[in-house]
Amino acid sequence: MIRRLCHELLQVYYARSEKTFRRSLGSLEAIQRKKLADIITSLQNTTEWKHLSASLSYEELSKSVSVKSYQDYAALIERQRANGENIISSEVVRYEPTSGSTDQRKWIPYTRVFLNEINQAAQVWLGDLYKRIPAIKSGTHYWSLSWLPQELRGLTNSNDADLFPAYQRWILNQLMAVPSEIATLQSSEAAWWATLLYLAAQKDLSLVSVWSPTFWLKVSEDIQNNWSEICSALHNGEWNKFSTELAAHLGKAPVRDVTDLNPDDSEFFVKLWPKLQLLSSWDSSSSALWADKLKSRFPNVNFQGKGLWATEGVVTIPYQKQKCLAFHSHFFEFRNLATGNIVPAWQLQKGEEYQPILWTSSGLLRYPLQDRLRVTGFLQSVPCFEFVSRLRSVDLVGEKMDAAWVQDLFANHPEWQAVSLVGVRLPKPQYILFGQNVANVDIEKSLLKVHHYQVARQLGQLQPAKAVEVQDIFNFLKQFGSSRLAGQNKIEVLFSIDALSD
């Protein structure tokens, strides 16, 4: 009864945000100009941006603020983290980690106003979702927006529930299949085991929202592979593993009688989660292959691809079966990748490819994301996009390998089930193709079609490329993924490393 009431309250609340969003689809420029003024106003107490006036137009502000990468902001953010001053941000709630290894890690300031911007996008998405698939109200939800690995536990209090106001957090907690306290566990292994038990105990699970499709593939595989232990733990209501830590933080273990379920049954997941209505994850570009695998594993469940959400901000949300610009959340510019021109959102052209540039209340102004987007059309005046690829290139010795070219290569050879092309610098520069069916692939032949690669090979600067099969995609991502947050690990089709570890 309480769960149903909570769903009804959320649906009514989110419907208001969705209605406002829908009614303003024809007012992109006006909404965006007001959003820019609101962002500048929110930064008036900062030393870096207090000279900017909210009365200035976009055209004037764009002349006063240059496009800046994280490297340009890094020293300011470190000072701000160290002494608590309002340097580029005001009222910071937390710093959210992103990127890879420790020396590459970015810490993005999350302010209260910025969290409201993110919350706005989430509300519109959920409002549309409740309207299109009302059956998600039938049960519990699992959201895994960020999964902290061992080395980040204790460094951040990252909790995705912070995206919502306190009263919404209370309501959402009544609906979550897995308690948010799992994020505070010091052991990632204990957290993973508890997650598996809670999910297997949820016969009413109706919605699963994750970033990477490989994350839910791993969850489902681990439940099947450890079914005997999971079944025993649920039957007895005991943790069986990590008992001291889990009992101290989470209390009693979940209980469910699942002794009649057989993990080898083709209908296993249908019987385990009979009310599951929706799976949501990345499904474009390098994630397409794994999203297809996820759809095959859950053929009777609705699937929805994610929009483009970065740690630094949200660009698109799934809306009316398209990936629509989240134009109520931040101010957006876009660099035309063919001409180099930077234009506001109301000047985009269908079919053109762009790089998004964000202005947000976190204090990151004119901040470019490393993503290539193609405009697929418009909802009234608001552009919709397709994620094409990351804007990434690898240049070990001057060969200038491009991520978009590699993505096209993989798309033309789906039988490879390719994961990534990796440039390895040591002991001698070389490219290695990793994939699930690449044992007989002559990747060298394909790469020799790239002029600069061919030259580098002829000059002896590169060793011949080779292919290596990888079967455990989740562990591959843990080692090489673009994020240290396992649930957010996106498969990069092209990247470089210094050397392969043994």
**pLDDT for res 147:** 47
Predicted local distance difference test score (pLDDT) of residue 100 = 47
Is 3.90.320 the CATH number for 394-497?
no
Q: What distance in Å separates the CA atoms of residue 122 and residue 18, rounded to the nearest whole number?
A: 10
- Distance (Å, rounded) from C-alpha 398 to C-alpha 385? 32
Write down the pTM of the prediction: 0.83
Average pLDDT along the chain, 502 residues, taken 10 residues at a time: 89 95 98 98 97 97 96 96 95 80 74 93 95 94 66 52 70 89 84 95 96 88 96 94 91 94 96 97 85 94 94 96 97 98 98 98 97 97 94 86 90 93 91 94 94 86 93 75 53 85 64
Torsion angle (degrees, nearest 10) of CA 212, 350, 391, 31:
-70
Q: For residue 404, what pLDDT is reported?
A: 85
Distance CA(337)–CA(253), nearest Å, equals: 53
The pLDDT, as a whole number, for residue 424 is 92
161-191 burial string, b = 16+ CB within 10 Å, else e?
bbbbeeebeebbeebbbbbeebbbbeebebb
How is the chain split into domains, by residue range?
Answer: 1-98+110-133+314-391, 394-497
